[in-house]
Amino acid sequence: MSVGMKIRKRLLPAGWYPENADEIRSLVAEWTKLQKSLSAYAAVAPHAGWYFSGDLAARAVWSLRECDTVVVLGGHLGYGDPVLYASEDSFDCTVRIARNDTVLLDAVKKELIDVGINEFALDAGMDNSVEIILPLASLRFPEAKIVWLRVPPDFKARELGSALARAASSCGRSLSVIASTDLTHYGPNYGFMPHGVGESACDWVRNENDRGLINAALSMDAERVLSHARERFSACSAGAVAAAISYSLDSGAKRGILIGHKLSYDVHPDRSFVGYAGIAYVK
């Protein structure tokens, strides 16, 4: 690393994902030993602590095609918020230091400005939706650069996905895109429990609420992903998924493949739980 280079440091504590690079490599090798690349243009991956969803996130990331740059799209934003980006020169991904593809980032911003979107802001605080994916992305693609973006759940998400495809073409980059979201947050911890507690609540989340969002994502219907999440509280970062769908469609993807779906309840039964899905977008 050059003298004076600004590196975005890890901010999440060890309970989210391991602090030791060898432990990360060992876990990921076990999780992905049966997951082959699907040459996916983009993937949806969960962003809870690795104890709950690291295996599913790793399998989603390992479905992706080879690339020059990995774009990690997070969320946790509201309707009307700006697109957030990281401007540091590099990211400490624990397993390696990965360079920020600032050339691509600038090209994406220009593409958005050209269609009338100039709502950008630096992403300076802690957020798990992108950070927890970084070790996986940097391990899967050991030579690739990374772009960090967070996406609001509104029309800007669709425009951002298309802007990524155009920017990749203008910069001569091959991209893989990771959309980071968890699904339904259910129970008293989240103030959302329309079906009470217990098995009936789990069945509703698993087979109806999560499933509705998953079906919209598999059919590559970005607008339905956004509306379902807004109306049914079925995803915390739906903008990331909508952007990944838009990018995938513009890049030639034809369908979504479900890699897996589970609940945190399956790992640790509790009155409050969260849904997770892995999806790959392929030809």
When mean pLDDT is compared across 26-30, 125-129, 135-139, the lowest value belongs to 125-129
Query: Does some domain include residue 25?
Result: no
Q: Running DSSP on this structure, what letter comes out for residue 94?
A: S
> What is the spatial distance between Cα 173 and Cα 119, in angstroms, rounded to a whole number?
24
Look at the chain and report how many structural domains it folds into.
1
In a domain, 192, yes or no: yes
Alpha helix (H) residue ranges in 79-236: 102-114, 128-131, 134-140, 155-171, 199-204, 210-218, 222-232
**Nearest one of 204, 141, 197 to 173, comparing CA atoms:** 141
Residue 5 has pLDDT above 90, yes or no: no
Q: Which pLDDT score, from 0 to 100, does residue 2 have? A: 57
16 falls within a domain = no
Q: Confirm whether 246 is domain-assigned.
A: yes
Across 88-114, average pLDDT: 97
Q: How many CB atoms lie within 10 A of CB 128?
A: 18
Domain of residue 74 covers 31-282
Buried b (16+ CB within 10 A) or exposed e, 219-238: ebbbebbbebbeebbbbbbb
* CA–CA dist 267, 51 (Å, integer): 8
* Residue 89 belongs to a domain: yes
Q: Domain for residue 17, yes or no?
A: no
pLDDT > 90 in the chain, percent: 95
Rounded to whole angstroms, the Cα distance separating 173 from 44 reads 21
22 belongs to a structural domain: no
| CATH number of the domain within which 56 lies | 3.40.830.10
Mean pLDDT of the chain: 96
CA distance linking residue 153 with residue 168, whole number of Å: 23
Residue 3 predicted with pLDDT over 80: no
* 84 has pLDDT over 90: yes
Ramachandran category for residue 272: left, alpha or beta (phi over 0 → left; psi -120 to 50 → alpha)? beta
Is 161 contained in some domain?
Answer: yes
Buried b (16+ CB within 10 A) or exposed e, 75-103: bbbeeebbbbbbebebbbbbbeebbbbeb
pLDDT of 125 higher than 90:
no
Residue 4 pLDDT > 80: no
pTM: 0.97
35 vs 105 pLDDT, higher one: 105
Residue 120 amino acid letter:
F
Inform me whether the pLDDT recorded for 193 exceeds 80.
yes
Average pLDDT over residues 71-79: 97
The mean pLDDT of 259-271, rounded to a whole number, is 97
pLDDT at 207 over 80: yes
